[in-house]
Structure 1
Amino acid sequence: MSVATSYTEFAAREAHAVSPAYERLALAVSRDDEVLALLGTLPPTKRQPSLLFGVVRLLGGPVEDPAAFHDYTVANWPAIAAEMRSRATQTNEPGRCAVLLPVLAALPQPLALLEVGASAGLCLYPDRYAYRYGDHQRGSGEPVLECAATGMAPPTRLPDVVWRAGLDLNPLDVSDPADLAWLDALIWPEHTHRRARLRAAAAVAAAEPPVLMRGDLVDDLPALAAQVPAGATLVVFHTSVLYQVPAPRRAAFVEVVRGLPGHWIANEAPDVLRHEALPEPPGGAHHNVLALDGTPLAWTRGHGQALSWFG
């Protein structure tokens, strides 16, 4: 897929009806030969819209007006390119816990959670947040995570988590203002509710910091998994992570994770982690596939805002 096409796809499938600013911006970049040429100087994994837009926001550049964005990007390209080369999209959206919860609550308790691509570890606290599925609320914590769920009854309980750890090439620390600023920059412009959610979830993580290990999802996963306390069900999970991993390493990861005791929850795009005979996704928006131990169960939206169960 060309860089221009990837921005057109992002506008149509991810930003449409979710972020008008990023929809406008992505369409403008897809037609902007000067910015496309600059993006072409970066490695293929560093050209994606969310990384470019997040870096420009982090540096204080404009993302609401495409013309101002163009001028800023061209004028400040060396600084933007340096940040894009050194960073990855580490969107740590606690709202994704709402689509993980139905699976987590149904597994043998208590749980030992191990997140791959954990960023700052905010998705390691599904037992501390509250959830609203339509008229059904579960839990009493903050933030309250809202999810439009179809095809299933909402879970009746929260999981019992006795151990939580994350693995990431570059773990982030919510108590570090610079790391928190990057997480904030990755939130789309209009999403003030997600900014509030980030702050509330960061307070939970800061009060009880998770074990976050700097490491590779293939080479370092078994050693971290071996630290799980006796009597707890290991759950290795990841959400919107594997698209950043080259295909051969993805295959190696799947082999490693399948060899571990416990369970494996994946929440990834269908072209990143393939499954046979998936039903049609609801509507034309971008959806991930929620799967348990390789069996697909539901379509999910990227920020946890919707879940359509078919398993």
Structure 2
Amino acid sequence: MSNPSIAPELHDIAASFRWNAGHVLGDSSLLYQKLAYRVADDADLLALAAHAQPHQPPMNLLFGAVHYLLLRATDDPLKNFFPDLARKPNRQDDPFPIFRAFCLENADALAQLISSRRVQTNEVARCALFLPAFEWIARRVAYKPFALLEVGASAGLNLNWDRYAYAYGDGVFCGDADATVVLPSAVRGARPPLPQTFPRVQTRAGIDLNPMDVFDDDAMLWLRALVWPEQRDRAERLRRAIALAREFPPRVEQGDARTQVAAWARAIPPDTPIVLFHSFVLNQVDAAAREQYYAQLRGLDADRVWFDVAVEPQTWPARLSVTTRATQTTLALCDHHGRWLEWIEHAAAV
């Protein structure tokens, strides 16, 4: 039951904590699930989370900011509850009183982080979702090389998707066996289209309102802080992906995809297919901004071939979809961190 003393302007934030606790965190982070249920009834902590910028997820920012401070701290009793920070994490005691005390003691630092940072997880395991979508597209353009743009690219780690390897279970492996980054994803149901050799990319770039520099240690620490504490495999993949990106730096430009995608597309030779891709980006803007983005694509020359690949959570679980000028095809249901996908391929007119 919700706390009746919570101010009305915090009700939506409280509801978001409860929803995430009930639908998202249970199979990913038991620590955050416990904390989310309690934060949802705590007016002080909800007010702290309310410092988030518009359309940014308050829960992810609050937990990410706390995790960031703990990663920088030499010692703090709250660390004992974090599986990635404690040798023997405390799973018996209630973490909330110590968590709450930490938040109130560090309220100014947390408010500054929550109000200035963005959720830019740059989850490379989502490339295991993008790969079959890219192969699906490649088959439809006769394997012509395409121009690739990641919208909301963050540090651009997903732009190195063809330098990673992929393990889909049952011995299905794509990519270089010696790759330093290997992305596992379980296939449910029908096997998705997977390449013998990776689709060819003619040119690639990313765009982001706030690009992150892979050589900026503090920015990379923020990415690390956004990884949930039980997910040590995600943290290790991130570390390896950052190391690879420092060897092969992706090109990510500062800009607003809602107004600048068309200009990028027009700079691409007209006979080159265009592929845009993004994950958990359009859910951070309102419906008008999403329409503005797609209106740019529909406004391109009629003979321009383009595909927009999206992993977005309009419903749960997330959907992997491809939008073209005429159709939107839901390719798969999928885990939000790429841990599994279920290929369904259902097309509908736009």
Q: TM-score, normalised by structure 1?
A: 0.89
- 1:25 aligns to what SS in structure 2? helix
1:74 to 1:46, Cα distance in 2 relative to 1, 3 A: farther
Counterpart check, 1:244 vs 2:284: yes
- Which of 147, 152, 155 aligns to 1:117? It is 152
Q: Which residue of 2 aligns with 1:28?
A: 38
Counterpart check, 1:264 vs 2:300: no
Q: Which runs of 5+ in 2 are unaligned?
A: 1-10, 82-94, 346-350
* AA of the residue aligned to 2:164: Y
- Which of 317, 332, 342 aligns to 1:308? It is 342
1:263 to 1:44, Cα distance in 2 relative to 1, 3 A: closer
* AA of the residue aligned to 1:138: C
* RMSD (Å), alpha carbons: 1.9
Which of these two proteins has the greater Rg computed from alpha carbons? 2
Q: Which residue of 1 aligns with 2:84?
A: none
* AA of the residue aligned to 2:113: E
- Which of 38, 63, 67 aligns to 2:48? It is 38
**1:92-134 Cα distance to aligned partner (Å, 9 max, x none):** 0110000111110132332221010000011112211110111
The 8 Å contact of residues 160 and 250 in structure 2, kept in 1 or not, is answered as no
Equivalences for residues 148-163 of structure 1 within 5 A: 148-154=186-192, 155-157=194-196, 158-163=198-203
- 2:274 aligns to what SS in structure 1? strand
1:37 to 1:182, Cα distance in 2 relative to 1, 3 A: closer
Structure 2: distance between partners of 1:115 and 1:41: 28
- 1:163 aligns to what SS in structure 2? strand
Structure 1: distance between partners of 2:219 and 2:53: 23
1:13 is displaced (CA, Å) by 1.1
Equivalences for residues 152-231 of structure 1 within 5 A: 152-154=190-192, 155-157=194-196, 158-228=198-268
Counterpart check, 1:93 vs 2:119: no
- 1:120 aligns to what SS in structure 2? coil
- 2:55 aligns to what SS in structure 1? helix
Structure 2: distance between partners of 1:67 and 1:10: 20
**1:152-197 Cα distance to aligned partner (Å, 9 max, x none):** 3241332222321001000011121111111101101011111111
Size of the aligned set, in residue pairs, is 297
- 1:220 aligns to what SS in structure 2? helix
Structure 2: distance between partners of 1:194 and 1:125: 16
* AA of the residue aligned to 2:167: R
Structure 2: distance between partners of 1:204 and 1:163: 19
Q: Which residue of 1 aligns with 2:87?
A: none
- 2:205 aligns to what SS in structure 1? strand
Q: TM-score, normalised by structure 2?
A: 0.80
The 8 Å contact of residues 282 and 312 in structure 2, kept in 1 or not, is answered as yes
Counterpart check, 1:142 vs 2:152: no
Q: Which runs of 5+ in 1 are unaligned?
A: 272-285
* AA of the residue aligned to 2:34: R
The 8 Å contact of residues 49 and 59 in structure 2, kept in 1 or not, is answered as no
* AA of the residue aligned to 1:142: T
The 8 Å contact of residues 14 and 46 in structure 2, kept in 1 or not, is answered as yes
The 8 Å contact of residues 111 and 233 in structure 1, kept in 2 or not, is answered as yes
Structure 1: distance between partners of 2:110 and 2:127: 31
The 8 Å contact of residues 126 and 159 in structure 1, kept in 2 or not, is answered as no
Counterpart check, 1:81 vs 2:147: no
The 8 Å contact of residues 127 and 338 in structure 2, kept in 1 or not, is answered as yes
**1:189-242 Cα distance to aligned partner (Å, 9 max, x none):** 011111111122112222221221101111111222334356542101111111
The 8 Å contact of residues 120 and 174 in structure 1, kept in 2 or not, is answered as yes
